[in-house]
Structure 1
């Protein structure tokens, strides 16, 4: 039943691969990819943290990968013949889980907001400087696209256009959490694909037979695994950092969900010789994994047909309610703490400082930027030339590839060039680790 959705096809098709071989090749490329390694120095919850016990994006992604694996195994136990090798399903979900955060910028979700807000504030003034004319109505969709930084959309762009991993079409689709569609309800209202990658995902959907705007079925499993992992981990890290005492945590959990299920989880975890968090996490994850598998199988036909709109852990079951309780407690008692907000402000200053300096490149006319990029700029390009030298060669190649083929969606070649020039800057900044972003900010502001 999954043969159509998981074919051994790539964007650059190979004809000598079987399904298992193609999946294993994907796995090797993903595990060895530099963006996965860089997750070790990117924020999960606590920006700039150097404590090994507190989670980075990499350790979080490894936990999501393991949870995704457990959900698939629970599904396969009740669906013995999916029509493809079980190892293929396991690998696709595990690698989607491992990749799901590679597009996140420095300083976590706060960094997403900073980049988007900076673009919204400054691009309207930079556009006329570079193109010599005001923004037209035809440019509005591209302006909106650039001003909405999304880690999921950046993940797709990173693996396909920037690092050119040439993953199988099924793996690409299983990574796309919010493919976008006509209806503005639930996850369908979220845009997790940039206009730069929209033609790719439209072609992937066509070749896999997915309905327009619908998710690949395995995305639901990756999403559930992420929800399970971060909700528990955020509170554990907060206690580890002493932002929240153990007593305060228990009181907050009891207050938010005063029912027998939560009380039983807490009592059993308190009495366990394994320690509170290992026992609490094991019991809740066990129930959530079972719930995710049960929901997936109950709505299997609708999920395969692209008609299911709810996440797997949505509902009124005690375990789902406990998950929502963890989210509420983290929002109320962790994310608004002075220490967390102070670290976010440090990231805010770094990102805005870097973007503000590199905006020099966005203000140049297209011909002048090309000259500077090629090392032919005149005396007036003193700063621009040095900034171009710091750009990633991989990102510059992606910029040139994007301009090699005229795109009818743009009013003219100048609009197309500037759109991908802004993408070049966003690619560069969002690919930085927390520590690199701080070092770059210190370098650029040393003389200020």
Structure 2
């Protein structure tokens, strides 16, 4: 089906063109919350939901979102079910984004109207779009969070003298090696571009469109709107690669629909980034309190040393005194203090983010690079320091991160054996050589193998067989949950290491 010409808009509702018409094939359009495969305009008429509300529903019911329940936020494989996982973190970022979005819209209504928003845009467009990108921003993160990213990158770094250019270690050069400028996609693996790949490539769809999200939702989800080739460490918008070469054709399509260019960030992405910062500051500290590592009074003492008490710190202090004057047990007092501490701090940081967004509206809608909205928040910085010292550097976290890194390294080694040790090098689905390789290859997701085998990207580099092999490897590892990775490694590490022929 040919794509109809469109006028570029940062709020583009366009979805990627299908390879064939579902109507012509006699496939019934689905209209339930979960079954969202049909034409979006017809679906909106039936369900009274905007395209962006549909996008949120597709994300909410998707498998990658559910997997976030067993991925690390701070505390890997935490037994205390009151402590956050990557799923609860993502829901909270989503909720915070909606709150800031409402304030930003009301504070800069004219700017939004001048850029294509109508009277109903807050409910129909801005809120659901922010909910979507908040919920989906961490989907590409591997098990064990940032340490998982480091472990994946280290595995490639240790093998970079041959993995990109040779058939095997100490063997002949590949006929089609991966050019060196693309090695950072693997050596500096990052979950952000993996999120785009997961949403657009790796979810099963009748026409291979992943979750089939709109152009605006995908554009707003690009935290770093540049390729690895165009990174700039001194620019906060360009400091990391936001998409892999394998998704370049998708990004080209997004830009055609939205009018955004390389390096231009969607206006709502600034809000999502700010909400992630708020969650990493306030809510990671909240988990430290829930685990009893610190008390809310400890946090107040630290903040009083850094800030005047005529603002939010004074309000918290006054509320703590009120709580202490009531006839509550110490345990109940502590829980109530935690709740108020969280609420006051979040309110203060939301106010800061909203105010900064409104103040920078000309630059944001002009697609200029500015500092992230929370960069000049001393309160946010101090809370991050508390979280870093008492959560990320806690011995239990460091121990599990070390175990997780070992598991990822071992899993990547046996997965690479399973991917590469095959009878016919030119065919990814060719018969595996060796018993362990056969077993491990059978565990790889069929839709991941389908992507590696079909190579539907128009990029020359992405069509290189070794590139597709390595993408398959990172797809499988990054898609694992913490528990699955640990259990699988315990299962595999006892198997004999028989070299494949």
TM-score (norm 2): 0.80
| 1:333-368 deviation digits (Å, cap 9, x = unpaired) | 332221211111111121111112112135447933
Consecutive unaligned residues of structure 1, counting only runs of 5 or more, are none
Match of 2:222 among 161, 176, 182: 176
CA-to-aligned-CA distance 1:409-438 (integer Å, 9 cap, x gap): 47xx6xx11111111111111111111011
| Higher mean C-alpha deviation, range 273-282 or range 69-78 | 273-282
Unaligned runs of 5+ in 2: 1-6, 19-38, 204-209, 324-334, 497-501
Match of 1:92 among 115, 129, 146: 129
Residue 431 of structure 1: aligned partner: 479
Match of 2:409 in 1: 352
> What residue number does 2:491 align with?
443
Equivalence for 1:287:
348
CA change 1:71–1:246 in 2 (3 A) is: closer
Asked if 1:9 is matched to 2:11, the reply is no
Aligned match of 1:401: 454
Q: Distance in 1 between matches of 2:488 and 2:231?
A: 41
- Structure with the greater alpha carbon radius of gyration: 2
**Contact 2:249 2:459 (C-alpha < 8 Å) held by counterparts:** no
Give the paired residue count: 434
Q: Deviations over 1:9-38 (max 9, x none)?
A: 012275845695322221221111000001
- Please say if residues 118 and 352 of structure 1, whose CA atoms lie closer than 8 Å, have aligned partners that are also in contact: yes
User: How far apart, in 1, do the equivalents of 2:159 and 2:307 lie?
Assistant: 44
CA contact (8 A) 1:26 1:167 kept: yes
Does the C-alpha gap of structure 1 residues 16 and 338 become closer, same or farther in structure 2, counting only changes over 3 Å? closer
Secondary structure of residue in 1 paired with 2:16: coil
CA contact under 8 A between 1:358 and 1:425: conserved in structure 2?
yes
What is aligned with 1:385?
A: 438
1:244 CA drift (Å): 3.1
> Which position in structure 1 is the counterpart of 2:242?
192
What does 1:204-353 correspond to in 2, within 5 Å? Answer: 204-257=254-307, 260-261=310-311, 263-271=313-321, 273=323, 275-315=336-376, 320-353=377-410
Q: CA–CA distance in 2 between the matches of 1:424 and 1:190?
A: 21
Q: How far 1:262 moved relative to its partner?
A: 6.0
Q: Are the equivalent residues in 2 in contact too, given 1:228–1:323 (CA < 8 A)?
A: yes
Q: Distance in 2 between matches of 1:102 and 1:353?
A: 23
The 2-side partners of 1:309 and 1:51 are apart by 39
Which SS does the other structure have where 2:183 is aligned?
Answer: helix
| CA pair 351-409 structure 1, distance change in 2 beyond 3 A | closer
Does residue 63 of the first structure (1) align with residue 99 of the second (2)? no
**1:46 Cα deviation after fit:** 0.4
Instruction: Return the structure number with greater helix share.
Output: 1
- TM-score (norm. length: structure 1): 0.89
Match of 1:124 among 152, 161, 171: 161
Distance in 2, matches of 1:255 and 1:186, equals 30
Asked if the contact 1:269–1:277 (Cα under 8 Å) also holds between the matched residues in 2, the reply is no
Q: Secondary structure at the match of 2:201?
A: helix
User: Residue 256 of structure 1: CA displacement?
Assistant: 4.8
Q: Which residue of 2 aligns with 1:35?
A: 64
* Cα 1:240–1:399 shift into 2, 3 Å: same
For the 8 Å contact 1:182–1:213, the answer to whether it is kept is no
Structure 2 residue aligned with 1:158: 198
Q: Between the two structures, name the one with larger relative contact order (CA 8 Å, sep ≥ 6).
A: 1
Label 1:188 to 1:368 Cα distance change in 2 as closer, same or farther (>3 A).
closer
Which deviations, in whole Å up to 9, do the C-alpha atoms of 1:50-77 show, x marking residues without a partner? 2110001111111111111111111233
Q: Is the 8 A contact 1:36 1:58 kept in 2?
A: yes
SS at match of 1:188: coil
Contact 2:420 / 2:469 at 8 angstroms: preserved in 1? no
Q: Does structure 2 conserve the Cα–Cα contact (< 8 Å) formed by 1:253 and 1:329?
A: no
Q: CA shift at 1:440, angstroms?
A: 0.3
Q: RMSD between aligned alpha carbons?
A: 2.7
